[in-house]
């Protein structure tokens, strides 16, 4: 079955750039989405179709996807960005939606 792999944790200093990776076989051939999940809150979509931001998502969030890796980049990271981040893609072969294991971002 298709799997997406994320680092369990990433640490960044306030104001610096955080990068969270998501790896999967030929992931670049699929569309990747990213979700932010804070404790006690519903997940929120922050990136879709690899690099598009829904309205209301700050410009400091950006995404890319190529080869086997999708990357979520947070520029000028703020304390409010501390959360769990999940990548997600659709696996056509199994007609399944796949989530990565999640990355805890500490600011």
Query: Which residues of this chain interact with other proteins, rule CB under 8 A?
Result: 1, 31, 33, 35, 37, 42-45, 47-49, 52, 54, 84, 86, 88, 90, 94-102
- Paired tokens of 107: 């600011």
Say whether 35 sits in a helix, a strand or coil: strand
**Neighbour-count burial of 6, counting CB atoms closer than 10 A to its CB (0-12 exposed, 13-18 middle, 19+ buried):** buried
CB closer to other proteins out of 37 and 60: 37
Work out how close the CB of 14 gets to other proteins at its nearest, in angstroms, rounded to a whole number.
Answer: 25
CB closer to other proteins out of 8 and 59: 8
Work out how close the CB of 49 gets to other proteins at its nearest, in angstroms, rounded to a whole number.
Answer: 6
CB closer to other proteins out of 17 and 94: 94
Q: CA 42: distance to chain centroid?
A: 15
DSSP state of 43: -
């Amino acid at each position: 079955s298709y799997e997406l792999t994320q680092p369990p944790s990433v640490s960044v200093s306030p104001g610096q750039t955080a990068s969270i990776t998501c790896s999967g076989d030929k992931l670049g051939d699929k569309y990747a989405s990213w979700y932010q999940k804070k404790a006690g809150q519903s997940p929120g979509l922050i990136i879709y179709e690899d690099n598009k931001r829904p309205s209301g998502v700050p410009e400091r969030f950006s995404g890319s996807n190529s080869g086997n890796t999708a990357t979520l980049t947070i520029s000028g990271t703020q304390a409010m960005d501390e959360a769990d981040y999940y990548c997600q893609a659709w696996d056509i072969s199994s007609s399944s939606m796949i989530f990565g294991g999640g990355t805890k971002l500490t600011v």
